[in-house]
Amino acid sequence: MKLTILGSYGPFPEAGGTCSGYLLEQDGCYILLDCGNGVLSRLQFYIGLDKLSAVIISHLHSDHISDLFILRYALQLAFDNGFRNLPLKIFSPAEPEAEFARFSSYKDIFDIEIIAENKQFEIGSLQFSFLQTVHSVPSYAVSVSYHNRKKIVYSSDTEYFPQLSNYAENAPLFLCESNLLAADLQKGKINHLSASQAAKLAREGRVKQLLLTHLFPYRDPQAYLKEAAAIFPAAELAREGKTYRVADI
């Protein structure tokens, strides 16, 4: 299984960067995990849009969904020119309702299914399950399995809660947001993990590798890595444009 980092910033990118978006590839199936601003442009360095099998949206904040509204234009042109003949599968939370209504009306372009903790989906040869996290809107961590063996867990946006380490347990790759540092938590910042909390989750879940993502753009990324590596040495920054092969981890 391959995971390519298309975007790793939030809530907005630095110059030349991209917000949350990750491309999964397995057995010729291509699945986009989140679709923040800049993702659509970066995606096309790797695949044509006609090859995209599905999009999974972890939660309905703009830095995770904004390029969906541009993707619909590209798909409409693909339909008009005979490059696609089926709607694109979108797996998404249904709340907040106003945000969901903005893109769920494109029924001829998107085929939407609602995600929840008690639902599992299979896309190609991959299985997906979900865990609701602690965030300002409904947000879901995503587990990606191949032949029913957990391979990748993505935290989505969240505060620290112990169940997340259980959910990520023994995953070869844990893609975890770390928008904050410990000093931010001491100042009362909420709704996101610090790098140290991401590392603590990785250590508690006995994952093999931790990728830190959803980084704040005006901060030296090495500050995140230093904080996380002190707790979990197998931590690294999720670098835009880099592809990780889970079989190699």
Per DSSP, the three-state class of 55 is: strand
Decide if 204 is inside a domain: yes
38: closest CA among 4, 57, 3, 64?
64
Q: What is the pLDDT of residue 84?
A: 87
**Burial label, 37 (beta-carbon count in 10 A; 0-12, 13-18, 19+):** buried
| Token pair recorded at residue 43 | 């995606």
How many domains, the chain? Answer: 1
What are phi and psi for residue 221, nearest 5 degrees? -60, -25
The CATH number covering residue 68 comes to 3.60.15.10
Q: From first to last of its 249 residues, what are the pLDDT tens digits of the chain? A: 999 999 999 999 999 999 999 999 999 999 999 999 999 999 999 999 989 999 999 999 999 999 999 999 999 998 899 888 899 999 999 999 999 999 888 768 999 999 999 899 999 999 999 999 999 999 999 999 999 899 999 999 999 999 999 999 999 999 999 999 999 999 999 999 999 999 999 999 999 999 999 999 999 999 999 999 999 999 999 999 999 999 766
Give pTM, 2 decimals: 0.96
Decide if 247 is inside a domain: no
Domain that holds residue 113: 2-242
Decide if 249 is inside a domain: no
Quote the CA–CA distance of 80 and 75 in Å, as a whole number. Answer: 9
Decide if 248 is inside a domain: no
| Token pair recorded at residue 248 | 């190699």
* Integer CA distances (angstroms), 173 to 44, 63, 68, in order: 24, 23, 26
100 within 8 A of 60, measured Cβ to Cβ: yes
Decide if 216 is inside a domain: yes
Vertex 39: Cα angle to 60 and 126 (nearest 5): 75
